[in-house]
A and B are shown apart, each in its own frame.
Chain A
Amino acid sequence: MIGRWVALWDRREAPTSLAITRLLVGLVLLFDLAQAKYTHAVEAAWSGPPLGLAWGSQNTPQPFVAAWFGASPRTAEWLWWLALSCCVLFLCGALFRVSALLLSVILFQIGRFEPDADAIDQLLRIALPILALSGAHACCSVDAWWAHKRGQPLCTSVPAWPRYLLILQLLWLYFSAAHNRSDAAWYPWGGFSAVSNVLGDPHFARFPPGTFQGAYHLTQLGTAATMLFEGSAPLMLLWFWRGSRVRWVWLALGVALHLGIAITMQLGIFPFGMLALYPVFVHPEELSNAILRLRLRRGA
């Protein structure tokens, strides 16, 4: 049993899935940082009161950035530039471990500045250090290109454990979200009205409340599908183990759920940040087989 556990976490695989995850997570983070700048929200979000909303910067003990440099608009601006630089390096896979670890530390600090931040921020704060320790830069990266240029052999296998950990994290997030819902609206006895309710919330809805009244039954179906999807997340482990095709249905449901959220609600990077981590669900071998099949089809 112990031997199998050790062997499981000692497995190696091609770096493709993790590299794609790195690229997508990097893009999402870059977009979020660019949006913060574009909306002139950098100073507001990361300066301490009365200059901004970052009340967490006054907590005891203070986040070290606030303690050393003060939670001022200037520090916020400086933090943003540093996060942006690290994010670009992370995305390109340049000086990967250093840039990824530094980006993680910046995200931890930002997280302490705004303790009420979105779930996606928390998820990325967990995912990023795992990616930093992975071989996500072993392909499609500046580091890999540089190593190749210096005559080093291409890295064809990296440890698989970071991908496994990210899979477990995503499955737990969904399952935890499902079992933390005490609101009857998510269940049959509440009429499966939760999605319809959320689509009417003036702070989140993309369309005016009442827009989806004609599609109420569809929203009920959406609620039931969401609970089924999230509640069944632990079964994915079984489906993975048995190589069952049901997992593709589950993944398709997840993609549909997040795209639905992106279209109907204003939740910032949440749906895209979640989807950016989905490549970890695909084994690199499956990925290369799919690419090969596509190439053969094009050739034919």
Chain B
Amino acid sequence: MKLAEGSPLVRAIRCFIPLWPRARALLIAFALVLGLISGFPAPNAQAVERFPAAWRGVARALPGVQAAVLAPFRFISDGCAISQRWTLFSTTGGIRYRLRVEARDAHSKHWRLLYRAQDAEHAFMRRELEYRRVRNGWNPNRRGIKPSYAPFSLWIARTILAQDAHFDRVRTRMERVQILARGAGIAWLGDYAFELEHGREVLP
């Protein structure tokens, strides 16, 4: 299909072409400003307490102002699942976790360790569990356990129970470990966190 030379659409396009560089430059400037606002580091409550008293009010109001300015454009960040705040290894050291997946023998009622992070002797479904998208489901972040941990626990329980009729329960939990100073390794603190347990009732 070819548009007629004098048609209104062709005329409109011809009028717009010289304006395009300016429109594009304006759009880019707008996108950069939005990106900077989205990525501007709003301090957390602890950090705000360390601010000079005069600045605390401003710092506390900042996240609200940021959210209000970005509100009309949230459909973009939500729809595309993007933001401009990048937190890469923002916390390290201290207490960390080590995932364990255990199953209970239906007869002896003994728990058997199937998988433990970084344990070559207990490496059930290791390839799958350590693939980054699956690991993201169970690996806690700086705020603690993620919403994907419960679905992960349920999924792994269903998978194990469906595969092996000898087991009647599956649990996932994390060893709490302390990162030792000067790269000396880790020490188990003797307890567990984030324990979830499922029985055969989770099977269809």
Contacts and interface: CB of A to CB of B under 8 A. Distances in A.
Interface in B64-115: 79-94, 96-99
A290 interface: no
A24 B32 CA distance: 25
B128 interface: yes
A219 interface: yes
Nearest to B29: A5
Interface string A48-71: 111111110000000000000000
Contact of A176 (B86, B133, B180): B86
Nearest to B117: A202
Given A9-B25, A182-B47, A268 B132 contact: yes
B80 A50 contact: no
A72 interface: no
A102 interface: no
A180 B41 contact: yes
Given A108-B81, A209-B186, A45 B92 contact: no
Contact of A44 (B29, B97, B134, B177): B134
A199 interface: yes
Contact of A119 (B86, B94, B202): B86
Contact of B92 (A8, A36, A198): A198
Given A50-B155, A125-B80, A267 B132 contact: yes
| Most chain A CB within a 10 A radius of its CB, from B80, B92, B127 | B92
Contact of A115 (B81, B132, B179): B81
B151 interface: yes
Instruction: Give chain A's interface residue range (CB within 8 Å of chain B).
Output: 35 or more
Contact of A185 (B29, B35, B92): B92
Contact of B25 (A6, A185, A193, A219): A6
A44 to B, nearest CB: 6
Interface stretch (B52-60, B135-143, B165-173): B135-143
A202 B186 contact: yes
A39 interface: yes
A40 interface: yes
A115 B81 CA distance: 7
A202 B128 contact: no
B182 A176 contact: no
| Most chain B CB within a 10 A radius of its CB, from A119, A165, A172, A201 | A201
Contacts of B137: 45, 53, 114, 116
A122 interface: yes
Interface in A165-209: 165, 168, 172-173, 176-177, 179-183, 185-186, 193-194, 196-203, 205, 208-209
Interface in A223-270: 266-270
Contacts of B183: 193, 196, 199-200, 210, 212-213, 215-216, 219
A49 B86 CA distance: 28
A122 B89 contact: no
Q: Which 6 A-B pairs have the closest CB atoms?
A: A210-B185, A111-B81, A268-B132, A197-B93, A49-B151, A197-B92
